[in-house]
Amino acid sequence: MAEYIYDTFKINNKCPLNTEDFRSLSLLYLPLMGIDSLSLYSVLIALDDGQTYPFKKLLDSLNFNNLKLVNNAFNKLEGLGLVKAYYSESKGHLYEVLKPLSFYDFFENEMFASFLETQIGESEIKKIQPVHKKPVGYKEVTKKFSDIFEASTTSIASTINQFTKPQVTVENDDFNYTLFKMLFDGSVLSEEVLDDENFKSRILRISYTYKLNEEEMRDVLVRTIDIDKNLEYASISKNARNAFQNKYKTTGPKIVTKVEDNFLPSSIDDKWREIIDKVENMQIADTLQSVSGMKPAVSEIKMFDQLLASSQFSIGVINMMILHVNAINNGVLPGFNYFEKIANTWARAKIKTSYDVLKYFETESQKKNKEKPTTSRNKKVKAVPDWYEQYTSQLEGKTVKQAEMTEEEKQEMANLVKDIMS
């Protein structure tokens, strides 16, 4: 992941795309990764192979205003198997651009197919899903290129690599496959089937997609054999989707990013996003004025400019720090060394974004909640962070750009913070 816009990268792009590839990108991948990743992919395949470029070129080409957008777009391309990333301390970043899966191979991937169906709907899926299916009851024995041909030069190896499908890596650490195997007595599935690596990877991928545990996946397989009278992966995936719908009372799994994303839904709660948007768009001078009620001194602004430079935190993180410190110090603004100690603590906690700060506060609150006794045997009491009341008060009555916020909006913001921090 690039840290500065003048960091450099090279492209390894030896997979020319055809019309069918672009059709796959537009109809299948775009709903999963967003227009930012598709735009980045389009730029990458147009760059000269082996040429060194600064990341600023990508910002300029895509009209992105910060490096975070580029990194997020890269992350999604990597996750979907369209880009492989490499890094060298001396040479910088190297990205290998890979061809998208064909329509047939895409729909053979249960995870991709399920997420896409949730995104665009079943009726649209039926319009674009290929009709051709593998023959039932047969094992493919088609010879590979390398089975038939060989060459005396190593150049042929790069040619063969162009035909290799991108690998999409999914780790499902929550699913214990050994336990899953133990749930079968041998009458339903043989040991040979359960030990097959392809079968195992499919089960792990399906269980990951539909968030099913070992017993639920066993029930899915039993149902597939009893009702569908087969063990085809499409049938397993269909029954897993039905189990998902019954368990979670929703139509299907939805793909979201783990980090904040401007182009796709993310796992960050909408309420958290609203607070993050506030602090990320507040100037430090405005934040200082909001907590004190008066215009900050020039020396105070310089102090936080120095903190910005030394800590390399974003303005949003510094704003969160100001609100936090103001709350725990009852409105008294300490000196630079005090803030620097907090910055060092947050850096050791791997805090990089405003979202990380909220998660850090949440974790600390959970720790306190475990330490505090409950007031009733029947009801658990949530621990409230020490800084909670004052922090809420700051956002409620002294939000930045108060002239642009109505009293109703201020109250909504106060309620928002109560929901998150309590």
| 8-102: CATH topology | Arc Repressor Mutant, subunit A (1.10.10)
When pLDDT is cut at 50, 70 and 90, the band that residue 373 belongs to is low
Q: What is the C-alpha to C-alpha distance for residues 374 and 31, in angstroms, rounded to an integer?
A: 46
Nearest of 82, 67, 49 to residue 58 by alpha carbon: 67
Nearest of 50, 22, 202 to residue 114 by alpha carbon: 202
pLDDT tens readout for residues 112-127: 888 888 888 878 888 8
3-state secondary structure 9-70: EEEECCCCCCHHHHHHHHHHHHHHHCHHHHHHHHHHHHCCCCCEEEHHHHHHHHCCCCHHHH
Q: What is the C-alpha to C-alpha distance for residues 205 and 109, in angstroms, rounded to an integer?
A: 9
Is the pLDDT confidence value at 42 over 90?
Answer: yes
pLDDT tens readout for residues 179-216: 898 888 777 788 888 888 888 888 988 888 888 899 99
| Over residues 39-43, mean pLDDT | 94
| Over residues 381-388, mean pLDDT | 44
Is the pLDDT confidence value at 146 over 70?
Answer: no
Are 272 and 419 in contact by the 8 Å Cβ rule? The answer is: no
pLDDT at 266: 66
Instruction: Classify the phi-psi angles of 34: left when phi > 0, otherwise alpha if psi is within -120 to 50, otherwise beta.
Output: left
pLDDT at 157: 35
pLDDT tens readout for residues 289-343: 887 878 888 898 899 999 988 988 988 899 889 888 888 877 788 889 999 999 9
Nearest of 361, 187, 393, 395 to residue 275 by alpha carbon: 395
Is the pLDDT confidence value at 43 over 90?
Answer: yes
Centre a 10 Å sphere on the Cβ of residue 341 and count the other Cβ atoms it contains: 11
Residue ranges of the domains in the chain? 8-102, 105-132+142-248, 270-421
Could you tell me which residue, 254 or 182, shows the higher pLDDT? 182
Task: Outline where 184-232 has alpha helix (H).
Answer: 191-194, 197-210, 214-223
Helix (H, G, I), strand (E, B) or coil at 266: strand
